[in-house]
């Protein structure tokens, strides 16, 4: 796709990665984009670069508008590989350009490139850069989601280049939210937002609230939010900010995610009466078998649901490895505001359900105990206990959910 003008003189010059399905372990069924932006002013300025595989794509897009050697300033908002690795190639074309980056970003950049001959200017929150008719304002967003991260605000055009924040892994011919909703759906866009937030930003809810607060305190008006992945927000910028604040405040649907695995299907059989019990309390639920589902999808299902039930058979006194792996990944995401329980089948000493509870408690999630267990294959009585447990858990989910203002 060629360069796309997002406001007079400001162009998207990024790349659409239609084929990527595994983005550092995060499954991307819809691909992604690497967005970067060219500002045509007295000093031509490039904001961000793209993944190395797409260096020639962005150079071609830039060349549609101007000779890349005319670029005077390059803003590097984030030094993760997907945004910085083609910087070396671009610097070959415009070696005298000045790079604007945070101090932490500069330190990291040294690990990617020999920067000894590059002009680098480090910036902090509140620093501005005049590029002619326009002024750029830099806003550090450390740990959203790396220590080096920042955002760049183009004052005169009221565009916030928000880096990974507000992004989504979606490859699409649409560049803007309204176009995407027209050609696909609002639901698909929202799912991609939740998916990205759950897998990348879940640990940083409190920081998200304070950074959004700081941006609002700066009194800047935001007409367009231009992230480095997915579609650009121009129709509903207020909506996406609210969505982020809601998620940071613990928003979830009143539903249950049953996330489990099984060797011989006994734990799997237990999910049927659990679903029935949950449904009979009027609560929705989904069932995810871990080895049949990418971990990032399970994380997303966890995040959209107020309640989670973890199912695991006992294997050698321990949780089944895929379940342990899932809980390990979840712990790193520091989940909050969710209620959890556990269930599973065992053959003799058991231990997996207990271990699952230990893991959920270590995450400081609200837990509903005791869990429900079955010796080998569930008997009709076991199925009855699963049904009752499902109902009781769903009632707890409703009660717990009512504590959150939606
Ligand atoms: C390799 C292997 C190791 C097992 N280790 C244990 C164990 O240490 N303690 C236990 O209570 N059951 C153990 N079991 C029994 C299973 O937990 C039991 O068969 C259970 O019903 C399996 O549930 P599933 O059908 O959901 O996989 C083991 C089973 C297998 C196949
Ligand atoms: Fe990133
Ligand atoms: Fe990224």
Domain borders along the chain are: 4-248, 257-400
Question: Is-contact 134 73, C-beta < 8 A?
Answer: no
Tens of pLDDT along 216-264?
898 899 999 999 999 999 999 999 999 999 999 999 999 999 999 999 9
Q: Is the CB of 260 under 6 A from ligand 1?
A: no
Q: If you average pLDDT over residues 97-125, what whole number do you get?
A: 97
**What are the two backbone dihedrals, phi and then psi, of residue 288, each rounded to the nearest 5 degrees?**
-125, 115
Q: Is the CB of 345 under 6 A from ligand 1?
A: yes
Q: Tell me the CA distances in angstroms from 89 to 56, 64, 80, 223, 301, one per residue in order.
A: 9, 17, 16, 32, 39
Q: Is the pLDDT of residue 378 over 90?
A: yes
Categorise residue 317: left if φ over 0, alpha if ψ from -120 to 50, beta otherwise. left
**What are the two backbone dihedrals, phi and then psi, of residue 299, each rounded to the nearest 5 degrees?**
-60, -45
Q: Is the CB of 291 under 6 A from ligand 1?
A: no
Considering the segment(s) 4-248 as one domain, its CATH architecture is 4-Layer Sandwich (3.60)
Q: If you average pLDDT over residues 265-289, what whole number do you get?
A: 98
Question: Is-contact 28 56, C-beta < 8 A?
Answer: no
Q: What is the pLDDT of residue 1?
A: 77
Q: What is the pLDDT of residue 92?
A: 98
Where residue 200 falls among pLDDT bands split at 50, 70, 90?
very high
24 is catalytic: yes
217 is catalytic: no
Q: Tell me what the pLDDT averaged over the chain comes to.
A: 97
- Kind of pairing between the strands at 32-34 and 314-315: unpaired
Separation between Cα atoms, residue 250 and residue 244, nearest integer Å:
10
The CB-side HSE value for 347 (13 A sphere, CA atoms) comes to 10
Q: Which residues share a beta bridge with 136?
A: 129, 154
328 is catalytic: no
Q: Is the CB of 375 under 6 A from ligand 1?
A: no
Separation between Cα atoms, residue 5 and residue 232, nearest integer Å:
12
Question: Is-contact 89 59, C-beta < 8 A?
Answer: yes
How many C-beta neighbours within 10 Å does residue 254 have?
18
**Atom of ligand 1 at shortest distance to CA of 350?**
11
How many C-beta neighbours within 10 Å does residue 68 have?
22
Indicate which residue of 83, 169, 229, 401 is catalytic: 229
Q: If you average pLDDT over residues 61-90, what whole number do you get?
A: 98
Separation between Cα atoms, residue 240 and residue 197, nearest integer Å:
12
Stated as kind and residue range, the H or E segment containing 268 is: helix 266-280
Q: Is the pLDDT of residue 68 over 90?
A: yes
Give the global pTM: 0.94
How far does Cα 374 stand from its chain's mean position?
36
Q: If you average pLDDT over residues 32-38, what whole number do you get?
A: 98
Nearest CA to ligand 1 atom 3: 315
Q: Is 3.30.70.141 the CATH classification of the domain at 257-400?
A: no
Tens of pLDDT along 132-166?
999 999 999 999 999 999 999 999 999 999 999 99
Tens of pLDDT along 39-50?
999 999 999 999
SS3 239: helix
Where residue 405 falls among pLDDT bands split at 50, 70, 90?
confident
Stated as kind and residue range, the H or E segment containing 388 is: helix 380-401
Residue 348 CA, ligand 1 centroid: distance in Å = 8
Separation between Cα atoms, residue 195 and residue 363, nearest integer Å:
20
Q: If you average pLDDT over residues 264-291, what whole number do you get?
A: 98
Q: If you average pLDDT over residues 362-380, what whole number do you get?
A: 98
Q: Is the CB of 318 under 6 A from ligand 1?
A: no
Alpha helix (H) ranges present in 157-227? 177-183, 186-196, 205-217
Contacts of residue 226, defined as CB under 8 A and 6 or more positions apart, other chains included, come to: 6, 12, 35, 37, 159, 160, 161, 162, 232, 233
Indicate which residue of 17, 30, 48, 82 is catalytic: 82
Q: Answer with the residue of higher pLDDT: 406 or 69.
A: 69
Residue 344 CA, ligand 1 centroid: distance in Å = 10
In eight-state DSSP terms, residue 8 is: T
Indicate which residue of 100, 196, 244, 260 is catalytic: 196
Greatest CA separation for the chain: 77
Q: If you average pLDDT over residues 340-344, what whole number do you get?
A: 98
In eight-state DSSP terms, residue 220 is: -
Q: Is the pLDDT of residue 361 over 90?
A: yes
80 is catalytic: yes
The two structure tokens encoding residue 11: 């162009």
Those residues whose beta carbon sits under 5 angstroms from the ion ligand 3 are 82, 164
In eight-state DSSP terms, residue 120 is: E
The CB-side HSE value for 294 (13 A sphere, CA atoms) comes to 14
Q: What is the pLDDT of residue 406?
A: 59
Question: Is-contact 78 163, C-beta < 8 A?
Answer: yes
The two structure tokens encoding residue 124: 């902090």
Q: Is the pLDDT of residue 88 over 80?
A: yes
How many C-beta neighbours within 10 Å does residue 90 have?
21
196 is catalytic: yes
DSSP line for 293-320: S-HHHHHHHHHHEEEEEEE--EETTEE-
């Amino acid at each position: 796709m060629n360069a796309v003008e997002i406001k007079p003189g400001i162009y998207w010059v990024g790349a659409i990665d239609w084929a990527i399905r595994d983005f550092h372990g995060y499954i991307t069924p819809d691909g992604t984009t690497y967005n970067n932006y060219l500002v045509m002013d007295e000093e031509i300025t490039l904001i961000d670069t793209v993944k190395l595989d797409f260096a020639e794509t962005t150079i071609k897009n830039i060349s549609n508008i101007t000779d890349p050697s005319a670029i005077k300033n390059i803003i590097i908002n984030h030094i993760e590989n997907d945004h910085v690795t083609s910087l070396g190639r671009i610097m070959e074309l415009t070696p005298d350009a000045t790079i604007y980056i945070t101090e932490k970003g500069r330190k990291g950049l040294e690990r990617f490139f020999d920067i000894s001959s590059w002009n680098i200017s480090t910036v902090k929150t509140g620093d501005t850069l005049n590029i002619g008719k326009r002024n750029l304002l830099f806003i550090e967003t450390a740990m959203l989601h790396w220590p080096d991260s920042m955002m760049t605000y183009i004052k005169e055009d009221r565009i916030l280049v928000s880096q990974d924040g507000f992004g989504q892994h979606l490859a699409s011919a649409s560049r803007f939210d309204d176009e995407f909703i027209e050609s696909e759906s609002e639901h698909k866009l929202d799912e991609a937002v939740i998916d990205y937030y759950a897998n990348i930003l879940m640990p940083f809810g409190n920081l998200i609230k304070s950074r959004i607060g700081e941006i609002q305190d700066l009194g800047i008006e935001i007409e367009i939010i231009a992230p480095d992945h997915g579609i650009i927000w121009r129709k509903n910028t207020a909506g996406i900010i609210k969505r982020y604040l809601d998620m940071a405040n613990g928003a979830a649907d009143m539903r249950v995610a049953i996330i489990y695995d099984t060797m011989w299907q006994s734990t799997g059989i237990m999910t049927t009466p659990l679903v029935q019990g949950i449904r009979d309390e009027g609560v929705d639920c989904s069932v995810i078998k871990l080895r049949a589902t990418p971990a990032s999808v399970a994380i997303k299902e966890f995040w959209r649901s107020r309640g989670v039930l973890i199912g695991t058979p006992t294997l050698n006194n321990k949780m089944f490895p895929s379940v342990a792996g899932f809980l390990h990944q979840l712990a790193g995401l520091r989940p909050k505001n969710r209620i959890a329980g556990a269930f599973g089948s065992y053959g003799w000493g058991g231990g997996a359900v207990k271990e699952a509870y230990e893991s959920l408690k270590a995450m400081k999630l609200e837990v509903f105990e005791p869990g429900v267990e079955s010796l080998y294959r569930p008997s009709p009585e076991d199925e009855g206990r699963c049904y009752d447990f499902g109902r009781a858990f769903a009632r707890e989910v409703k009660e717990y959910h009512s504590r959150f203002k939606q």
